[in-house]
Structure 1
């Protein structure tokens, strides 16, 4: 009789554990192309989280344009609980202080990025928390460089040309050298190039140029800035998870964010070679242009921060001290 009672209790515990309801999350990414390093990375995150939580947390990823969420509204949609989990490249409207990391020529190489990002991370967590989301990590694209319909060999060649940018800071750089910045969604770029609405774009070989290269015969590899994405979760959805599942999610994102960055850097070389082989004229950066461009932009960094307020001045100072600029 005693053995029967023990067996019954044990069985009820097993059934109770196995009968626990799984948590299903809706995830969204701005990218609509499943073959990009970004989407592959988000897919790995979903798969690993499901596996490592024993299917307690299942994440269904939706690609860009498959949900009625504008690219510029992803952070807000996550905070509002429309989605539980997301990758957002266009978060700067919701969390503008994060644009410190995207200021032209402030961060110029991998080592500087690593130091600057680590210094900014506490600020990012606090800023995203105010939007009702939990900042979990992120990844970075390669340097944003010029792809154009006109032969570009120096910054002087920008004069009079219309360039698609993804931030006001990129726009300032274009204007500083005589160009006209234009903001468009990614889906508008091919048609705008065909119609002459724009004469070029700032992107990476492994970024927009991967899809638009047929419209862009020239590439001047002046490194204006880095673009980055954040990986975030709705705060309520995150808080409702068991602690062990939160830890799994955080650990997986922490590992996959840098892996996506590495994949992008590797793909940058592959895509650049493919684009060259397909006939794109690629011109390496003229090193003599860098000192003057840095001088112009350094003054802009300070003006930009001062105009936006003390917390921006503080954030810029933290980043500059971290990278020694």
Structure 2
């Protein structure tokens, strides 16, 4: 299977014929074929082709006329059959409980929290006409800057690019100014001083932007994750055996993608350090202080969104013992 480019006309045609049970169109938000995210999806596509009668054509980010924030909706509407979606929180906002800053602080906590939340996530995606097959996680989001930083106090007065309102709240709490930009805008914005830092992973955005970011404060703010999803009608049209095999393959390749990201994180940290980036360990006491400061925000976030969110937060906190 190869990654193809699909034009507007072809996309319209695809949306009209999406129900072919044995010929799917898949999409990933990532536009770089060498990332762990795309490699993982390609492995899924290849293994499905080997083990079933299902053929999946995988398309890179920006090759279809689908905005990153609209991927889950596009799957639910049947424009595409399958996707890896990092920007699903607009369509399934309750999933953002897993991304609250300082709530989940390590791999063990993530595993427990996700397991506890999975039934809720399955139901929430189903309400969008989408089957949640699995997913993968990026390494911890840390702080990369153009200015020297050795503690959270150094964020004060600086403009930091964030990818969610929750990350924005974290930056605000330490005196910074959060700014939301697309990934394509980051390099130019760093050059022009529109932003002075980003929250990302070494194996994530920093892999492309490291030349503009001489400092990395190794403080884990939160985690970001992607969901691997399928259109409900397309999935239901598959044979039971193919459905089972597809789920099994995703269940294996999702964690494998996470592991690849974690391995790449260490490689990128070393590479970025060798290239001149200054990596600074989190200052003693910063994590405990930040956790205490953010805990009331978790509660207000949940209460403002409604009883389901309060319940989701309680489920996660019970699972990780916080």
| TM-score class, shorter | over 0.9
The equivalent residue for 2:6 is none
Residue 231 of structure 1: how far off its partner (Å):
0.3
The equivalent residue for 2:278 is 281
Answer yes or no: is the 8 Å Cα contact 1:22–1:58 preserved in 2: no
1:109 to 101, 106, 109: 106
Q: Does 1:23 align with 2:25?
A: no
Q: 2:133, 2:32 → 1: CA distance?
A: 23
SS in structure 2 of the partner of residue 142 of structure 1: coil
Whose Rg is larger? 1
1:248 to 245, 248, 263: 245
Residue 289 of structure 1: how far off its partner (Å):
1.1
Answer yes or no: is the 8 Å Cα contact 1:75–1:91 preserved in 2: yes
Question: CA deviation digits over 1:187-221, x for unaligned, max 9?
Answer: 11111111111111000000000011011111001
The equivalent residue for 1:44 is 43
1:160 to 153, 157, 160: 157
Residue 292 of structure 1: how far off its partner (Å):
1.2
Residue 287 of structure 1: how far off its partner (Å):
2.5
Residue 291 of structure 1: how far off its partner (Å):
1.3
The equivalent residue for 2:31 is 32
After TM superposition, which residue ranges in structure 1, 4 or more long, deviate above 3 angstroms? none
Q: Does 1:313 align with 2:291?
A: no
Unaligned runs of at least 5 residues, structure 2: 1-19
The equivalent residue for 2:117 is 120
Answer yes or no: is the 8 Å Cα contact 2:21–2:237 preserved in 1: no
SS in structure 2 of the partner of residue 287 of structure 1: coil
TM-score by length of 1: 0.92
Q: 1:188, 1:64 → 2: CA distance?
A: 15
1:70 to 67, 72, 75: 67
Residue 179 of structure 1: how far off its partner (Å):
0.4
SS in structure 2 of the partner of residue 27 of structure 1: strand
Q: Does 1:85 align with 2:68?
A: no
SS in structure 1 of the partner of residue 285 of structure 2: helix
Q: 1:278, 1:255 → 2: CA distance?
A: 34
Q: 2:102, 2:146 → 1: CA distance?
A: 24
SS in structure 2 of the partner of residue 178 of structure 1: coil
Residue 22 of structure 1: how far off its partner (Å):
7.2
Of 282-291 and 92-101, the range deviating more from structure 2: 282-291
Q: 1:164, 1:197 → 2: CA distance?
A: 9
Answer yes or no: is the 8 Å Cα contact 1:84–1:237 preserved in 2: yes
Question: CA deviation digits over 1:213-247, x for unaligned, max 9?
Answer: 01111100110000000000011110111111111
TM-score by length of 2: 0.93
Of 266-275 and 22-31, the range deviating more from structure 2: 22-31
**RMSD, aligned CA:** 0.9
SS in structure 2 of the partner of residue 269 of structure 1: helix
Answer yes or no: is the 8 Å Cα contact 1:78–1:234 preserved in 2: yes
Q: Does 1:145 align with 2:131?
A: no
The equivalent residue for 1:178 is 175
2:214 to 210, 217, 220: 217
The equivalent residue for 2:291 is 294
